[in-house]
Amino acid sequence: MNIEKARFNMIEQQVKPWKVFDEKLLGAMATIPREKFVPESYRGLAYADIAIPLGHNQTMLTPRELARMIQAMGLEGDEKVLEIGCGSGYSAAVLSRLCKKVYSVDIIGDFVSSAQQKLRQLAFNNIDIEETDASDGWLAKAPYDAVLITSALPTLSDSFKRCLNNNGRVVSIIGTEGHYAAKVYTLVDGEWQTETLFPMDAAPMINAEQPNQFVF
């Protein structure tokens, strides 16, 4: 497998056609070795347009989905960013090239330790990863300029407003099984302004409060 060619094709054939035009983001994805973050048995598919299984019923977002979501965060380089769901560590690596500081949290300890090791080996120095339940937000290092949530929630809780600066953004996956969509929530004077990006599939966030279900 020609890694450099596969990475180039990922950008040109998957990411750019999905309306991703941010040159800094494209540059980050063109240089970060995604193959270092996928499970060994999937190394040959590291740059394929698939959701790669990570274990614990979780998957990596496809490159094009992740790129569109990160682009929607509107990062300019000086932000403090929270990522909820570190997964493989790849998305934190991409974010770290676009902002000043990344805090990434995950409830799954295996993901945290693995991501910490990979990012340390690759000399990413502006990322802190912690094991915690952030299904309702994470105030430890708040306020943040932007939040990325890489698993699905039924709704975005207003508790996330406490995590953000004014005009801060949350990019998340919202909906119910079979009806998920990536959305951008911008906090303006205490109220959400919402934009839908695209429909997608995703794993539900562990411990997220689920809506009441009617039983007939």
- Rounded Cα distance between 108 and 123, Å, is 23
> pLDDT tens digits for 15-70?
999 999 999 999 999 999 999 999 999 999 999 999 999 999 999 999 999 999 99
**Closest-CA residue to 168 (of 100, 87, 72):** 72
pTM of the model: 0.94
> pLDDT tens digits for 179-193?
999 999 999 999 999
Q: Where are the domains of the chain?
A: 3-199
What is the pLDDT confidence band of residue 211, given thresholds at 50, 70 and 90?
low
> pLDDT tens digits for 127-152?
999 999 999 999 999 999 999 999 99
Greatest alpha-carbon pair distance for the chain in Å reads 55
Return the CATH class of domain 3-199: alpha beta
| Long-range CB pairs of 133-140, under 8 A, 24+ apart, other chains included | 133/107, 133/206, 133/207, 134/82, 134/84, 134/105, 134/107, 135/84, 135/107, 135/205, 135/206, 135/207, 135/208, 135/209, 136/209, 137/162, 137/163, 138/82, 138/84, 138/103, 138/105, 138/163, 139/163, 140/103
Higher pLDDT, 203 or 194: 194
